Structure formats: structure tokens, C-alpha cells
A and B are shown apart, each in its own frame.
Chain A
């Protein structure tokens, strides 16, 4: 979900309340009490859900990360930092590297590709509306349905990917079982899944650019490349910034395509952090909740760190209207 950019709430006096406009000074006190009681009543359902399924589990993840399973399989034996020490291994280093590569190669091509397409759609050509809808269509696919389609396309024996290569005389490729190709193949599928969303967001951004600005630039003789690089792209920087933040967060959370396409393999080549958490906690009857929770804490820190870096560094370069 897209994180809202501003976190500050309005000061209390910003919204004059119904009760206060109606009540006289004498009644103000009880009225305000019922008002805040009503307010908390309205917030209650959400608060209960967040406490039970976000805040309490957050603490519980930290608790589980320093506990091992007892004789009955319940994670209740305190083991200190042991699960974290386990992570100082080449295996976990590879998981982190895979996560980084996966994120980089699924975010950058999807954002840049969508930017190029949306800029080209700005050229005054026929059929723009149809093309724009067409480019946004991958958005209708869920991660699972898109992954299944790609599983068929990547099928080494009968898939179209090899069919195309075969028609130009290139040997069959084992897209999902060759350790050096599996990660790029999963990244390519992920780029496709994100493309529609990126086109939708950037198109909305272009639509919001005021025609006067573009017309003024055109009158000054700017067109094509110059118009795009000096006017459109700078004015799109809030959307680009938003897309980089949101797609990085999505990429770090990716799970379905890896589970459906490669199950983390071959030889751990596509085991990202989230997939590793799944493998330790749930796959093949495994229930190593301690190690998995320690990795979940790493995921949490990485994601918070990424968000902080992106907000700290990138936002200063973003042009807001």
C-alpha cells in the first residue's frame, strides 16, 4: 500500500466540531466528554485490529527472534542472539545479495520503461487512449495469475520463450532451472507485473501537468526531447519518487512469483529474504519460527532503512509544485 507522504496530523483546532458549534458555554464540558467518547468508539474497531494484528505481532516477532523451540516444538526457550549469529553466514549473505539484485532489477527497468512509454504517449499521435489502456492492462493480473502465465511461457520444452529463441536459431534455455538465468527471468516477470501500475501512476501525473506550462514551452520552441527532459520529467518527479519508494517496498515483499516460478531455486538462486522467511517457518513442514523471526526483524529494519534513505536523500531533489 502506498505510504502517505505527510505524517503530521492537523492541530486540534482545525476542525470545528459539531458539538462545539451547537453547545453553549455551560454545556461545553459534558459535550466535549461525549464527543471524545464517541470518537474513541468510532476508532475502536480499527484500534482493536491494529493492536491484535500489527502491534502485538510486532513485539511477538522480536520475542520469537530470541527464542528457540522447546521439546514440544513451542518457541519458548530463550537463546539470546543465537539466531542473529546464525545469519553471519555465507548462506544468509547470499540471501541478502539476491534480495538486493532482485529489488534493483525489478524496480529500475519497470520505472524507466514506464517513463519512456508515458513520455512517448505524450507525442501527439493517434490512438493514444487505446495505447495507454493497453500498457496499463498488466495491472489487472494478480501476482499469482501473471506468474502462472510466465511459468507456461518459460516452460523449457513447449514455452514460447524458447520458441522465439529457436526460431532465430538459439538453443533452448532452462529459464527457471539454470542458476544464472533464473533470477533475471523472475525479475523480468516482476517488471511485467509492475508495468501497468507504473504506467497508470505516471499517466495520472502527466494528466495533472497544467497545459499552460506545456503550451508556453512549445511557444518558446521546445518540443520532443527538450520538452520531455526540461518540463515533463521534472514535473513528474513526485510521481517518480513515489514509484521508486513503493516499488522498492513491493519488491522487498515479493513472494508469490518466487513461490510459483522457482520455489527459491535452483540452488537458492532466487531465495530472497521474504522467501527465506517462508522457507524457514512454513515450507515442507519446517517450523523454525525463531530463525525466521530473526530474519523478519532484518526485513523490518531493511525496509524502514530504505524508506528513510529514500525520504532523506531523494525527496530533497524532488520538485514539488
Chain B
């Protein structure tokens, strides 16, 4: 490897220039969260805080019930994730190993649901869920999660994983007297953990980040999710960007943790559709 070359310097320069617009909003989101009103209200705005102003963090909890939003989001995203993992495992097992009449047609109908944009069917879903009385009070949790309890994506990904399962292992389990139910939960599920984790990480992130559905469904602010809460904080506190950015930084912690610790599962889930 050569120590110095013009090309290599050019690569660094271009990457450095590209990194500025990519990293700046991240930097600003977190640094702005601990900037005092003095730094944020000046023009031109300060890029580096003169002092760390931690009060934003405590103020944001006083301004909106951020803790409550966290709990709501955790319940909503948690329920969706657990439910989708379970329903996808069951359906994937049926598609991968069981002889079913009309299996090909049913599988195609599952995949067809991926082609239907949620935004195109959101109106009848809204009318149905709110008509059933699931948009108010504690029942809002039910309304938030009901349409998302199953997923063709998860089923597809797990079916692919199950089909790669060594036939010998399955046969051995069967010869030992293993029925379908035990085979699924004692043999196949434990050995498919990476694929299940990929589905879980992917489903959790998309559920946690939902915006449109909670925005239109939730009527009691008590059941507001974090994403909607942060955007309302932005509407209410335009004059206090430090407060708003503190809310953003706090709401990012769970997803940052999932992205950093679940990175390899994310890539697995992301590329499941991209690669053969």
C-alpha cells in the first residue's frame, strides 16, 4: 500500500465533504439539545455551545409528558413486534413444511398485501377502527396495533429461513417422536434466532417510527406516541429550539440503541428482499 497518493487524498476530501451534510443534522440534533437559549437565538447561530445547558432535558419533561409518550410508544411498538414475530413464525411454518390445498395461491395473496400501500387503505381502516370505538381511552392501544399484528414481509423472510433448514435435522427430530408443535418451538425456532431477530428489529423500528396512523387515530393526548409528541413539541415551542432538540435527542435513544446493537440483523432484514 502506498503511503501517499493524489487519488487517496482526493478520496478523503470528497468523503469529508460528503460527511458534512450527512453528519451535521445528527451533530446539531444532539448538541442543540444542550445549547442554551443564548447560543440558539443568536444570528448567525452558534455551532458549538458556549456552555452545556442541561436544563433543556428537564424542561422538556415539564413541557410535555415525555415519559408517558415513551410508555405509550413502548406498549404500541412492543405489542406489534411480539405479535408479528409470533404470527409470522406460525404462517412461515405452514408455508414451509405443511401440505396445504391452495398453498401457492394463499402465499401469493400474502405477498400481494405487500403491494398495497397502507396510505391507500388508511381511510376505511380509520373508519372501521374508530367506528369500533378503539380510538379513545385505553382502547387506543388496541386501535394502534390491530392492523399491524401480521406481516407478509416477516412471513416471507422466515419462510426463506425455514426452507434452508437442514432436512436431516428435521427428520431426526421426527424420528425421535417430535410432533409439529414441538418441532417448531423446540427445534426450528431456536435454530432460526438470527432470522427472527432480523424480523424483530425491522418490525420494532418501523412500528416505533410510525407517524400517519397514530396522528389520525389518537384523540386523547394521554395515549399519544413519542413521534407525534415530538412533532407537537416542535409546533408548540418554535421559540425554544433547545427544548425541541432535547426532545428529539431523548426520543432517539431507543432507536439508536437498536441500530447500533442490531446492525447486522438490520442489514440482514434490509437485504432479504434485495438479494436472492
Contact = CB atoms under 8 A, between A and B. Distances in A.
B212 A278 contact: yes
A39 B116 CA distance: 25
Interface in A106-162: 113, 116-117, 120-121, 123-125, 131, 134-135, 137-153, 155, 157-160, 162
Contacts of B150: 45-46, 48-50
Given A57-B125, A140-B259, A300-B120, A145 B252 contact: yes
Given A134-B19, A238-B275, A281-B123, A18 B110 contact: no
A1 interface: yes
Interface in B251-276: 251-252, 255-256, 259-260, 266-267, 270-276
B196 interface: no
A87 to B, nearest CB: 15
A277 B119 contact: yes
B110 A50 contact: yes
A10 B7 CA distance: 50
How many residues of A sit at the interface, in one of the four size bands? 35 or more
Given A49-B150, A143-B211, A204-B271, A20 B110 contact: no
Given A15-B163, A166-B44, A35 B274 contact: no
At the interface, is chain A mostly helix, strand, loop or mixed? helix
Interface residues of B, number: 115
Contacts of B117: 249, 252-253, 299-300, 303
Contacts, number: 339
A245 to B, nearest CB: 9
B98 A153 contact: no
A7 B156 CA distance: 10
A2 interface: yes
Contacts of B101: 36
Contacts of B234: 148, 151-152, 260
A134 B29 contact: no
B97 A17 contact: yes
B255 A142 contact: yes
Contacts of A260: 231, 234
A24 interface: no
A275 to B, nearest CB: 10
Contact of B94 (A43, A143, A208): A43
Contacts of B120: 58, 61, 296-297, 299-300, 303
At the interface, is chain B mostly helix, strand, loop or mixed? helix
Nearest to B160: A4
A39 B94 contact: yes
A141 B97 contact: no
A19 B124 CA distance: 42
A2 B109 CA distance: 16
B255 A49 contact: no
B113 interface: yes
Contacts of A146: 25
Contacts of A243: 274
A274 B12 CA distance: 40
A307 interface: yes
A45 to B, nearest CB: 5
B98 A36 contact: yes
Nearest to B215: A259
A3 B108 CA distance: 12
Given A49-B147, A200-B267, A152 B115 contact: no
A192 B26 CA distance: 10
B230 A145 contact: yes
Nearest to A167: B44
Contact of B211 (A137, A252, A255, A277): A255
Interface in B31-50: 32, 40-45, 47
Interface string A237-263: 011001100100100110110011000
Contact of B45 (A64, A148, A159): A159
A102 B230 CA distance: 25
Contacts of B7: 123, 224
A56 interface: yes
A186 interface: no
Given A123-B8, A153-B28, A303-B117, A21 B125 contact: no
Contacts of B260: 140
Contacts of A135: 18-19, 22
Given A16-B167, A45-B87, 6 more contacts: A54-B116, A116-B18, A137-B26, A138-B25, A150-B25, A307-B115
20 contacts: A1-B273, A2-B272, A6-B276, A15-B97, A40-B100, A50-B109, A50-B150, A54-B113, A54-B121, A64-B124, A116-B14, A134-B22, A142-B251, A155-B238, A160-B28, A160-B47, A205-B271, A208-B275, A260-B231, A277-B122
Interface of A: 1-12, 15-22, 32, 35-36, 38-40, 42-43, 45-50, 52-58, 60-61, 64, 113, 116-117, 120-121, 123-125, 131, 134-135, 137-153, 155, 157-160, 162-164, 166-167, 192, 195, 197, 200-201, 203-205, 208, 224, 238-239, 242-243, 246, 249, 252-253, 255-256, 259-260, 274, 277-278, 281-282, 289, 292-293, 296-297, 299-300, 303-304, 307, 320
